Structure 1
Amino acid sequence: MKFVSLFLFFIYTCFAYVQLNDFDPWLWVSVYGYLAIVAAMGVFGKFHKVLITIGMLGTLIGSLWLMPSVYEWLVHHEPADLLYGMSPDKPYIEESRESLGLLICFLGMFILFRKASVQHPEAI
């Protein structure tokens, strides 16, 4: 369990770091920072299912909110567009990346929730 929590902490911290050069770092560093803190608590054996659930719900809602951009990218543009730089005339690139990043975070939080439920059923 500690390995999973440590891995998620590392991933979320890296996600937060690469957002520092974004035009809205306060939002994304806050989101990924929250997830990193929740994962770090798991490293120390402090599992709070409520905090994990908040992370799961927030990332899932955020990902679904940005999903129309993923749809636009998949249906109307080249798949390789996501690998290129962003531009004001292609907002779907940034939003698709954000949506997929939040989906990855949701999966990580879900794994953490499942592990906490199995290994620490007494956790809140």
Structure 2
Amino acid sequence: MTADQNTNKSRKIINIILFILFVLFALVQLNDPDPLVWFTIYGMIAIICLLANYKKIPKILLWILILGLIIYSVSYFPYFNDWFNIDHKEELFGKMVYEKPYLEGTREFLGLLIAVLALIYQLKRPVFK
């Protein structure tokens, strides 16, 4: 097996893992107060990760999505900043507490950043069957 074949195989495996991860992210959002927004975002990222194994994804599309997600994440940055300045950061991984909206806002901010990173990964050379 050549180095290019190993790279392609690794990228395909990573894309399948990303696909599964974002499908799970999307499914978890179904009980969110605004499930349509988050299910659509994560579902779209999942589909792009899967399709990237078989088809070249236009870079302009990836850049538009990256820019859109970054712009959307700006609205959640104040929540992330609030969370960043508290002492008990482990609360982020606990239950949603309505008196602490920065927890959900921070989760959403971080989810958007993970989505952006997945799209940036797709900007690398495309993988084909």
Return the TM-score normalized by structure 2.
0.81
Offset from partner CA, 1:79-122 (integer Å, 9 cap, x none): 11212211221110000001011111111110111233xx69xx
Alignment partner, residue 6 of structure 2: none
The alignment of Structure 1 onto Structure 2 pairs a total of residues equal to 118
Q: Choose which of 93, 96, 101 in structure 2 pairs with 1:83.
A: 93
Which structure 1 residue ranges, 4+ long, deviate > 6 Å from structure 2?
none
1:74 aligns with 2:84: yes
Consecutive unaligned residues in structure 2, runs of 5 or more: 1-10
1:94 aligns with 2:104: yes
Consecutive unaligned residues in structure 1, runs of 5 or more: none
Return the TM-score normalized by structure 1.
0.84
Percent of paired sites with the same residue:
35
Alignment partner, residue 5 of structure 2: none
Alpha-carbon offset, residue 76 of structure 1: 3.3
Q: Quick check: which one's helix share is greater?
A: 1
Contact 1:16 1:33 (C-alpha < 8 Å) held by counterparts: yes
Task: Compute the RMSD of aligned alpha carbons.
Answer: 1.8
Q: Point out the structure with max Rg over C-alpha.
A: 2
Alignment partner, residue 5 of structure 1: 15
